[in-house]
Amino acid sequence: MLPSAKSLEGKRVPNVTFKTRTNHQWKDMTTDMVFKGRIVVVFCLPGAYTPTCSSTHLPRYNELAGVFKANGVDEIVCLSVNDAFVMNEWKQDQEAENITLLPDGNGEFAAGMGMLVDKSDVGFGKRSWRYSMLVKNGVIEKMFIEPEKEGDPLEVSDADTMLKYINPKAVAPDPVVIFAKPGCPHCARAKALLESKGYRYDEISLGKHITSSTLRAVSGSGTWPQVFIGGKLIGNADSLEAYFGARKAA
């Protein structure tokens, strides 16, 4: 049986040493190095490359990292009972440049938290239960532990729940997608404008499986680029400039 969130709040995180790899060299990272004198959001999950972890849990924390930091968080840490090689490769695969991925290879941190669970039924062995916490100077202020039920629940340890706890008035940025064409100056102008406004974006480029027909099908126009913000079609680079101009005037 897992401990309750209330029973862990106010306690210090376990004192362990994480075996990390940087520039092809082993580097020990202690609990103090991660938490001492800092405000850290931690989310722990069953395994790198697993479906929920890769599709939702990690990407959303990475996406909202700027908002967390604007609200006083020094670092966002992802922990899993995986080795350093796996965690480094997963970080690269996920393009999670805003997240620090730490390997809890022996499950020492998970065990110290009372969150080490047996997933032998799916061939995982001992793994961490899914949870998140806000840690200030090594002391747990707030815990969100997923309910003990079948499957792989992600109901309370997600990034949006944590952000709402830290600042209920914080506004998460709208997701942005830009359909772009290599070498297109108008695409470059639109991307530069998004970056200047602090927007992260996903880029879908013209290629073997993305054609002008695809662009017309999703946007109604064959002109590159086409920008979507928060699920709404903004249009080409000129339309994007007009969009930001209207927001500034308002």
- By annotation, the residues acting in catalysis are 53
Give the whole-angstrom CA distance, residue 121 versus residue 136: 36
- Judging by beta carbons within 10 Å of its beta carbon (0-12, 13-18, 19+), is residue 162 exposed, middle or buried? buried
How far apart CA 226 and CA 238 sit, in angstroms, is 10
Strand partners, 235: 227
**Side-by-side strand order, sheet with 202-205:** 202-205, 176-180, 226-229, 232-235
Q: Which residue has the tokens 């101009």?
A: 245
Residue whose pair of structure tokens reads 């490359």 in the numeric block: 49
Which residue's structure tokens are 């879908």? Answer: 204
Backbone dihedral region of 82: left (phi > 0), alpha (psi from -120 to 50 degrees) or beta? beta
